[in-house]
Amino acid sequence: MIAFSVLGCGTSGTPVAQNSEANSASGPMRTERARSTIDHTTENQTPKAPASNSNSTGGKWSQSGEPIDTKPFDDAIAAAERSLKAKSSDPVAKLAAADAYFKRGFALTEARQYASALGDYRRALKILPDHEDSLKWEKQIIGIYEMMKKDYPKPGEEPPPLPFKGEKGTI
């Protein structure tokens, strides 16, 4: 009986030790690595366009991201601009115009068209300098460029949104 208990204790300790070694070596590990904000951009993944295809600012701000249909946003911006032109000092008209630019900018941000989105956030801030969402996202995009150690477009240098040519990428 003593031999059985010694044999039983000796063998039961070994598998536990082997299991903990096996668990520590292959413990709950993620199969994918953690990704930073920079990894989510396509600006580092797409080949650079030749200089002849670059925009008028010297090719520094090439377009990137997914093309999306901005027509609903463009229409909302046009309507808000008309209203603002008719009532330039009306705070409601200013807010509506700033919100219209913000909404298109946010859609462009989701489509990873960061340089174009930055332009819309800045247009919203030009109309309503304390528009919180636009301030937040302008800083966010500038932070992304700074983390990538890249220059970001200065006001007026932002490219237009990518042209939409189909159904893929619709909102």
pLDDT digits (tens, 9 = 90+) for 2-51: 544 444 554 444 444 444 444 444 444 444 455 554 444 444 444 433 33
Inter-residue contact 80 to 27 (CB < 8 Å): no
Diameter over CA atoms, the chain: 100
User: From CA 38, how far away is CA 28, in angstroms rounded?
Assistant: 26
The CB density around residue 2, as the number of other CB atoms within 10 Å, is: 6
φ/ψ (deg, to 5) at 105 = -60, -40
Q: Give the pLDDT confidence score for residue 101 in this predicted structure.
A: 98
The CB density around residue 101, as the number of other CB atoms within 10 Å, is: 26
Q: What is the topology classification, in CATH, of domain 69-162?
A: 1.25.40
Q: Give the pLDDT confidence score for residue 31 in this predicted structure.
A: 44
Q: Give the pLDDT confidence score for residue 57 in this predicted structure.
A: 39
Q: Give the pLDDT confidence score for residue 65 in this predicted structure.
A: 87
Q: Give the pLDDT confidence score for residue 62 in this predicted structure.
A: 63
- Residue ranges of the chain with pLDDT lower than 50? 1, 3-7, 10-32, 37-59, 169-171
Q: Give the pLDDT confidence score for residue 165 in this predicted structure.
A: 86
Which residue in this structure is represented by tokens 């807010």? 95
Q: Give the pLDDT confidence score for residue 91 in this predicted structure.
A: 96
Per domain, the residue ranges of the chain are 69-162
* 48 alpha carbon, distance to own chain's centre: 20
Closest CA to 94 of 118, 125, 122, 71: 125
Alpha helices in the chain (DSSP H): 2-26, 71-86, 91-110, 114-127, 132-147
Q: Give the pLDDT confidence score for residue 60 in this predicted structure.
A: 60
The CB density around residue 104, as the number of other CB atoms within 10 Å, is: 25
* 149 alpha carbon, distance to own chain's centre: 16
Q: What tokens does 69 get?
A: 């249909």
Q: Give the pLDDT confidence score for residue 37 in this predicted structure.
A: 47
Q: Give the pLDDT confidence score for residue 119 in this predicted structure.
A: 96
